[in-house]
Structure 1
Amino acid sequence: MTLFLTLLSGISWMLVYIDCIRLGIKQKTYGIPLFALALNIAWEGLYSFLGLKLPIRIQTIVNIIWFIFDLIIVVSYFKYGKNDFPKSAKKYFIPFSILTFASCLALQLAFYWEIGYSHGPIYSAFLQNVVMSILFIIMLFHRNSKKGQSMVIAVAKWLGTLAPSILMGVVQGINVYVITCGILCSIFDILYIILLLNWNKIL
């Protein structure tokens, strides 16, 4: 069960990243909201590096693959992200973006230093997944279109968080924090799926 849920999470998020990259190239955009992207790549980079210092686990390999995919999305963000900035703020695009990535790295390091390797990545990951689920909905309405988004991304994102929520919140022992974050993610992810399915009716 542990291996299945770990692989389901890993493969689902890989599908998210691959489709984000595909649509980013095709539609000249980026598919993950800035703060979610910054938190993601900081988490993946940190725990890929730390994981290499321990006996290599499946999760470490998955983290490295996620990190590589996210690097490509970061390139897409810096290439096309200015288009989503208000006209009056476009000149601040680069410094604001750099500040955001640096701030998110600082937050991930703070989680690690304060909570440790065993629980730090779990608690930070689930919190940022709740934030990410909300940000995808905000991005959809901000763009007022499905540009850079797809049902593959929406469903895979939901499953990619649901699997570790079950694994770390139930299978490996009851964890109220993980269960709560998992439920919140599912609520917003399912809402996001419904919005995508009915977007043409909403407009």
Structure 2
Amino acid sequence: MVDGIRMLLAAVCGLGWTITYVLAVRNGLRDRTYCIPLVALAMNICWEFQFVFFRSADHMSGSNSDVGGAEVVIGVIWLIVDCGLLYTVFRFGPGEFPFLPPRVFYAGFVVVLGLAYAGIEVLSREFDDGDVVLTSFGMNVAMSGLFLAMLAVRGSSRGQSMGIAVSKCVGTAATCAAWFLDTSEYPGPWLPYCMTACFVLDVAYIGALATVLRAEKEKEAEGGRQVGERPVPRDIERNASL
């Protein structure tokens, strides 16, 4: 019974985050920008790469290899969709930093990827016995905060949507629920803290985005923009974009 629930929660997590990534690619192509904060995207890609190719055997050696196997398949799907996310970064990212030559932006993003990979590797070995569970929850906290920061910096819903916000929240909540089925595997205060922080930040992001979307609709109704036209950030907001 418990194993079946875990399998269901793993599927919900995989579906929620897959929807998030697909919507982010679609919105990025539509709004000509990236939709996942750069640091968060770098951490996610590196985590998924390590989990699929280097950590999955250890992860599947636990009590339920079926759940572990399903999670590896989900990780492969995420890596495939990541190609679309990377395209939006390399295609539209330099436009968010007009004060930087494109080659500097590209080099900087590659450096961020390298730092993210090394950081996850070190943290996994130091605090997670070589696994990537504890680091994944810490990354989720960072991502939730970075989405709020991106919304604040851009000052508009450009590159964002309620679909992304809700599906991201549901995917994370499913993973948190799976832990509550057996708290003995990862005891201590770290996971409860991360789960609480993710929930608070995700709900705050949903509320903040809803407020921005409502304000944009009111402005459209007043004739400030043509209905359906995406808001364009001011130069100072573009320069500070995450």
Same fold (TM over 0.5): yes
2:181 matched to which residue of 1? 171
Residue 173 of structure 1 aligns to a residue whose secondary structure is: coil
1:31 matched to which residue of 2? 35
Going by fraction, where is helix more abundant, 1 or 2? 1
Alpha-carbon distance in structure 2 between the residues aligned to 1:145 and 1:96:
25
1:82 aligns with 2:102: no
Cα pair distance change 1:200/1:162, threshold 3 Å = closer
Q: Give the deviation of 1:52 after TM superposition.
A: 6.0
Residue 132 of structure 2 aligns to a residue whose secondary structure is: helix
Alpha-carbon distance in structure 1 between the residues aligned to 2:215 and 2:163:
20
The one-letter amino acid of 1:154's match is A
User: Do 2:157 and 2:213's aligned partners in 1 also have CA atoms closer than 8 Å?
Assistant: no
> What runs of 5+ residues in structure 2 fail to find an aligned partner?
61-67, 217-242
1:182 aligns with 2:195: yes
The one-character-per-residue Cα deviations of 1:1-55 (angstroms, maximum 9, x if unpaired) are 1111111111000010010011111121111000000000000011111256576
> What runs of 5+ residues in structure 1 fail to find an aligned partner?
none
TM-score normalized by the length of structure 2: 0.77
Residue 15 of structure 1, aligned match among 12, 19, 30: 19
1:58 matched to which residue of 2? 70
CA RMSD of aligned residues (A): 1.8
Residue 190 of structure 2 aligns to a residue whose secondary structure is: helix
Residue 197 of structure 1, aligned match among 210, 230, 233: 210
User: Do 2:55 and 2:132's aligned partners in 1 also have CA atoms closer than 8 Å?
Assistant: no
Residue 153 of structure 1 aligns to a residue whose secondary structure is: helix
User: Do 2:13 and 2:172's aligned partners in 1 also have CA atoms closer than 8 Å?
Assistant: yes
Alpha-carbon distance in structure 2 between the residues aligned to 1:107 and 1:195:
30
Residue 144 of structure 1, aligned match among 155, 159, 175: 155
Q: Identity percentage over the alignment?
A: 29
Q: Across the two proteins, how many residue pairs are aligned to each other?
A: 199
Cα pair distance change 1:52/1:165, threshold 3 Å = closer
Q: Extract structure 1 runs of 4+ deviating beyond 6 A.
A: none
Residue 101 of structure 1, aligned match among 113, 116, 123: 113
The one-letter amino acid of 1:164's match is T
The one-letter amino acid of 2:49's match is G
TM-score normalized by the length of structure 1: 0.91
Find the structure with the greater CA-based Rg.
2
Q: Give the deviation of 1:89 after TM superposition.
A: 3.2
2:143 matched to which residue of 1? 132
User: Do 2:94 and 2:105's aligned partners in 1 also have CA atoms closer than 8 Å?
Assistant: yes
The one-character-per-residue Cα deviations of 1:121-159 (angstroms, maximum 9, x if unpaired) are 111100010000000011111111111111110011111
User: Do 1:84 and 1:143's aligned partners in 2 also have CA atoms closer than 8 Å?
Assistant: no
1:46 matched to which residue of 2? 50
